[in-house]
Amino acid sequence: MKITVMTTDEQIVTLEVDRDESVENLKALLEVETRVPLQQQQLLHNGNEMGNSLKLSALGVTDGDLVMMVPNAASSGSRAGAPSSEAAGFNPDGSAVNPSAFQQQVRSDSNLMAQLFQRDPELAQAILGNDLNRLQDILRARNRQKSELRRQQEEEMALLYADPFDVEAQKKIEASIRQKGIDENWAAALEYNPEAFARVVMLYVDMEVNGVPMKAFVDSGAQSTIISKSCAERLGLLRLLDTRYKGIAHGVGQSEILGRIHVAPIKIGSIFYPCSFMVLDAPNMEFLFGLDMLRKHQCIIDLKENVLRVGGGEVSVPFLAEKDIPSQFLDEERYAKDASSSGAQAPSATRENVSSPSGPSGSISNNASQGAEFEAKVAKLVELGFGREQVVQALKLFNGNEEQAAGFLFG
């Protein structure tokens, strides 16, 4: 199996080792790679120190895991016992009396190190590093922050006792109480629901559109399946663009609808499906698989198995891991900048509503669309399991011909 070892000076070493290899042998390999003597190495896995006599499998190290290598402070001094509390004490400015002893004491407490990595990663990195001056600077900064917070709290309490009915004092006390509740809520989330702070990657799947491989963004919150003009041109579909279906897509901002491509083949897994697209002038979004096609092809977003099931389960394709998604799709800052400059909506919040479509020439008028006869045709096709929006579009496409519209909807 392969493991990655990162040193405190940000050197990264990738090693091929056996899962039953001992930690001592791993340190010997690292001595060759990093020139750090075995006795001066301290290895951490998930914040826990790895004992020399233990095997990697016994410590839960698996393929692709990250191991931290930090200097073994105990090797440079006496190993008789832990540093005294006096040696690891603090100066009035918050810095450690003996920074090396303080560093060693904190490193030896795996639970404390795990909490530090969650609550104060900067301080945790400084404790694992070799720069004692930086560690002292961070300790002084944390002490100043605590002193400032304590001073503010004392001022607020003084205001309360001076005049409990003062409006400004009441506002500050109210803000302090609210902030305290927020901090308690944050601490509880950090302890019981740490996953909430992790980044959530949007749902992408591999599929082929008109024979060309694509990374498709799956969005059940988007009303229609959308493709950009540049992507349609690259796929050889722009020649099929029906400009009679121009309009405006409204969502977070808005974007111009250039038209519609009525049908093109998409391949999901090993099966081909017919698909229709709205073509948008949105350079920051290539291909979005929306609710209309999700419904039509009876798709199931299975987050437990992390797959998209198509055709009621006849095909299952996995959602892509973050490493398999192109970097431009994950660059949120650039994406937001593009969206604000172009006026197009972000895919993650797309709510596409078409306004003022010109419609095909000779199509039924808006008044006729609202007529009883048209509504009866819509109701009949909706009973077959199609969405109302799809049915209306199909009837307009075939000038109200119910049979042709039904044939189109059935693919």
- Same-domain check for residues 184 and 287: no
Range of the structural domain that residue 81 is part of: 2-134
What's the confidence (pLDDT) of residue 123?
85
Question: Quick one: 211 and 345 in the same domain?
Answer: yes
pLDDT of 318 reads 93
In a domain, 343, yes or no: yes
Work out how many domains the chain is built from and give that number: 4
Task: Return the residue matching tokens 């917070």.
Answer: 149
Q: Are residues 61 and 120 in the same domain?
A: yes
Do 116 and 210 reside in the same domain of the chain? Answer: no
- pLDDT of 330: 62
Residue percentage of the chain with pLDDT more than 90: 11
| pLDDT score for 367 | 41
Element housing 264 (H / E): strand 253-268
> Which CATH number does the domain housing residue 80 bear?
3.10.20.90
Predicted confidence (pLDDT) per residue in 11-52, tens digit: 778 888 888 888 888 887 887 777 777 777 888 887 778 888
Let me know if 302 is a catalytic residue: no
Q: Which residues pair with 90 in a beta bridge?
A: 96
* Amino acid sitting at position 170: Q
Model confidence over 170-219: pLDDT tens digits?
777 777 788 888 888 888 887 787 777 767 788 999 999 888 898 989 98
**How far from 276 is each of 1, 110, 270, 283, 299, CA to CA, in Å?**
45, 56, 19, 19, 16
What's the token pair of residue 240?
Answer: 């099929």
Indicate if 218 and 341 belong to the same structural domain.
Answer: yes
With bands split at pLDDT 50, 70 and 90, how would you rate the model's confidence at 406? confident
Same domain, 322 and 220: yes
Q: Is 69 exposed, middle or buried (0-12, 13-18, 19+ CB in 10 A)?
A: buried
Looking at residue 205, its pLDDT comes to 92
Do the domain assignments include residue 20? yes
Q: Which of 48, 44, 55, 61 is nearest to 3 (CA)?
A: 61
Q: Which residues make beta-bridge pairs with 41? A: 71
Residues 31, 92 within the same domain? yes
Report d(CA 198, CA 218) in Å as an integer: 20
Confirm whether pTM is higher than 0.85: no
User: What is d(CA 302, CA 316) in angstroms, rounded to the nearest whole number?
Assistant: 9
| CA trace torsion 154, 158, 160, 164 (10° rounding) | 180
- Is residue 307 a part of any domain in this protein? yes
- CATH number of the domain where residue 384 is located: 1.10.8
Residue 361 located in a structural domain:
no
Q: Which domain-ending residue is among 355, 380, 399?
A: 355
Specify whether 278 is located in the same domain as 394: no
Strand 287-289 vs strand 212-218: parallel, antiparallel, or unpaired?
A: parallel
H or E element that contains 69? strand 66-71
In angstroms, the CA 226 to CA 48 distance is 48
pLDDT cut 70: percent of the chain above it: 78
Looking at residue 63, its pLDDT comes to: 83
Alpha-carbon gap, residue 350 to 127, rounded angstroms = 45
Are 319 and 306 spatial neighbours (Cβ–Cβ below 8 Å)? yes
> Are residue 345 and residue 213 in the same domain, yes or no?
yes
What token pair was written down for 216? 């498709």
Domain closes at, from 100, 134, 168: 134
CA geometry: angle at 111 spanning 107 and 117, to 5°? 75
Q: Which of 355, 375, 395 is the last residue of a domain?
A: 355
- Return the number of other C-beta atoms located less than 10 Å from residue 144's C-beta: 12
Q: Based on the fold, state whether residues 65 and 26 are members of the same structural domain.
A: yes
Q: Which residue has the tokens 């596409």?
A: 352
Is 287 contained in some domain? yes
Q: Which residues pair with 96 in a beta bridge?
A: 90
Please indicate, yes or no, whether residues 74 and 216 belong to a single structural domain of this protein: no
Residue 360 lies in a domain: no
62 lies in some domain: yes
- Is 310 part of a structural domain of the chain? yes
Angle at 241 between CA 237 and CA 247, to 5 degrees: 135
Same domain? 252 vs 178: no
Residues 63, 65, 219, 302: which is the catalytic one? 219
CATH number, domain containing residue 288: 2.40.70.10
